[in-house]
Amino acid sequence: MTGIIVALDGVTFNSAREGGTLSVLSKAREKGMIWGIKINDMLYSGDVTKIMASLKDEFKLGVMVDVKLHDIPSTMENSISKLVNAGANIVTIHCSSNYRPRNTELLKYIAGVTALTSFTNLEIKWIYDKTHEEIVRAFSDIALMNNYGYVVGSVKDMSLIQDNPLKKICTGVRPAWYRERHDQVRISSIREALRLDADYVVIGRPITTADNLMDAIERIHKELQ
């Protein structure tokens, strides 16, 4: 079954804990309705090791650290190792880095990002001098060649690489009852993600801005049935 990863973008650890968000998500995880959470700037709101330990041990959440690393290999190796050792289940990097870890044990934690959901086709052409379709296929081939654990992209991206055997994490996913696009260009419905056998869907604001977080999670979970 497709797992839900709740994106906690722009949320500090203290506000998520004290406001009850993490407790609700922990209960949803316990009920099998979500896999866990996606975090990025939350790591800058305190001690990384303590934050990760609390998310894993206190709240029992799966943690996808969405840092989208792109640097020289030694720097990426250090960063990924530290995050994994702190408890990260998944760490994102840009496929364009063509990163190959010396420590092959890290591979199962790495999720290679193809194209950002905020990019238009024109921006992709301008930056990479390739079409959207060409760059997604090229980057997914890099993820497969390097034996990453996951590949990340919009549902529309995943429709181009259905033959790629890596686990697929779909971003830009919206439930049927949520109409806002925000800053994402390539968005799709949960139904479209299911049609492509997405392993995980990342959903943030439809849950985090809801008046009742658990109600929103339950509604989305039902769409995945």
17 is in an annotated binding site: no
Q: Are 112 and 142 in contact (CB under 8 A)?
A: yes
Sort residue 129 into left (φ over 0), alpha (ψ -120 to 50) or beta: left
According to CATH, the topology of domain 3-224 is TIM Barrel (3.20.20)
Which sequence positions are flagged as catalytic?
A: 66, 68, 71
Q: Is 225 annotated as a binding residue?
A: no
What CA–CA distances, in Å, run from 93 to 71, 113, 206? 9, 6, 25
Of 71, 30, 21, 3, which is closest to residue 221 (Cα–Cα)? Answer: 3
Q: Is 205 annotated as a binding residue?
A: yes
Token representation of residue 152: 């990340």
Is 186 annotated among the ligand-binding residues?
no
Vertex 18, ends 14 and 23: CA angle to 5°?
A: 105
Round to whole Å and give the CA distance between 79 and 135.
26
Q: Name the packing angle between helices 132-145 and 121-128 (round to 10°).
A: 60
**Which of the 8 DSSP states describes residue 119?**
-
Q: Does 204 appear as a known binding residue? A: yes
78-121 pLDDT tens trace: 999 999 999 999 999 999 999 999 999 999 999 999 988 788 88
What are the pLDDT digits (tens) for 10-62? 999 999 999 999 999 999 999 999 999 999 999 998 899 999 999 999 999 99
pLDDT surpassing 80 at residue 179: no
**pLDDT band, residue 180 (cuts 50/70/90):** low
> pTM of this prediction?
0.94
**Using CA atoms, how far apart are residues 30 and 91, in angstroms rounded to an integer?**
23
C-alpha–C-alpha distance, residues 90 and 106, integer Å: 10
Residue 177 near residue 207 (C-beta atoms within 8 A): no
